[in-house]
């Protein structure tokens, strides 16, 4: 977890570098997805530069495509709006 926190803002090449364990990379993906959904909730019409830099690596790591991502984000935002 400490390594994920350390690398959360410096992800250039991180998915191919071997610096993080598989668990660390998975946790980093969860963190970045959570930040992206939070961004979408607060700025639904804007584009997240942070997300754009990691999107391909994360989707590849999680075996997701853009439709999967869109569905997950819509469902999560819907559930958040119900709270």
Residues 42-52: tens digit of each pLDDT: 998 899 998 99
Higher pLDDT, 4 or 52: 52
Rounded to the nearest integer, the mean pLDDT of the chain is 91
How many domains is the chain partitioned into structurally? 1
Structure confidence at residue 1 as a pLDDT band (50, 70, 90): confident
Structural domain boundaries, residue 75: 2-81
- The two structure tokens encoding residue 27: 């946790």
pLDDT at residue 18, as a whole number: 85
CB 37 within 8 A of CB 77: yes
Q: Indicate the pTM of the whole model.
A: 0.87
SS3 content of the chain, % helix, strand, coil (to 5): 70, 0, 30
pLDDT at residue 32, as a whole number: 93
């Amino acid at each position: 977890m400490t390594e994920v926190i350390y690398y959360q803002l410096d992800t250039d090449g991180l998915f191919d570098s071997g610096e993080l364990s598989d668990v660390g990379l998975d946790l980093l993906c969860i963190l970045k997805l959570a930040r992206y959904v939070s961004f979408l909730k607060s700025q639904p019409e804007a584009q997240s530069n942070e997300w754009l830099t990691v999107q391909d690596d994360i989707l590849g790591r999680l075996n997701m495509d853009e439709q999967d991502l869109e569905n997950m984000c819509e469902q999560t935002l819907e559930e958040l709006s119900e709270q």
